Amino acid sequence: MQTEGLGERHARPVLNTDYAEPRDESEQVIVNIWQELLGIDRVGIHDDFFDLGGHSLLATRLVARLRGAFNMNIPLGSLFASPTVAGLASAIAEIKAEEQTEALNILAQLSEEEIEAELRKRTENELT
């Protein structure tokens, strides 16, 4: 099986962490991206990106892929702060919650007429 320009996939290296499968869809998406970029068959959710051979260039590619997959701005620092699949999934959930809170705060500042006008505009855009 070919990886994204990195050659054949290889087995998961011997690590200090036991293999743990993804627990939800977000973790599965992250695992899939890691497996493609790192060329590893099985990535566990507690495996450290850098212990698996990840480096700064791959980190930038990984974050770019995550931004596309989750359709959100994910800071590169998130990977360095939480270099595991489980840690990144948690960081992404926090970012998503912050974005939703921010959107609700903006919405709370709008009048009912402004909200209705925005909904009409969006509905018209979807129909065209």
Is residue 66 included in any domain, yes or no? Answer: yes
Structural domain containing residue 112: 25-127
Is residue 81 included in any domain, yes or no? Answer: yes
Give me the mean pLDDT over the 20-32 stretch: 97
| Cα within 13 Å of Cα(8), Cβ side | 2
DSSP H helical ranges for the chain: 25-38, 56-70, 77-81, 85-109, 112-127
For 32-65, what is each residue's pLDDT tens digit?
Answer: 999 999 999 899 999 999 999 999 999 999 999 9
For 72-103, what is each residue's pLDDT tens digit?
Answer: 999 999 999 999 999 999 999 999 888 778 77
Is residue 112 included in any domain, yes or no? Answer: yes
Give the pLDDT band of residue 3 (cuts 50, 70, 90).
Answer: very low
Is residue 37 included in any domain, yes or no? Answer: yes
Number of domains making up the chain: 1
Closest of 14, 2, 64 to residue 39, by C-alpha:
2
Q: At 88, which CATH number?
A: 1.10.1200.10
Is residue 73 included in any domain, yes or no? Answer: yes
Sequence-distant (6+) residues with CB within 8 A of 93 are: 26
Is residue 6 included in any domain, yes or no? Answer: no
Is residue 1 included in any domain, yes or no? Answer: no
Is residue 105 included in any domain, yes or no? Answer: yes
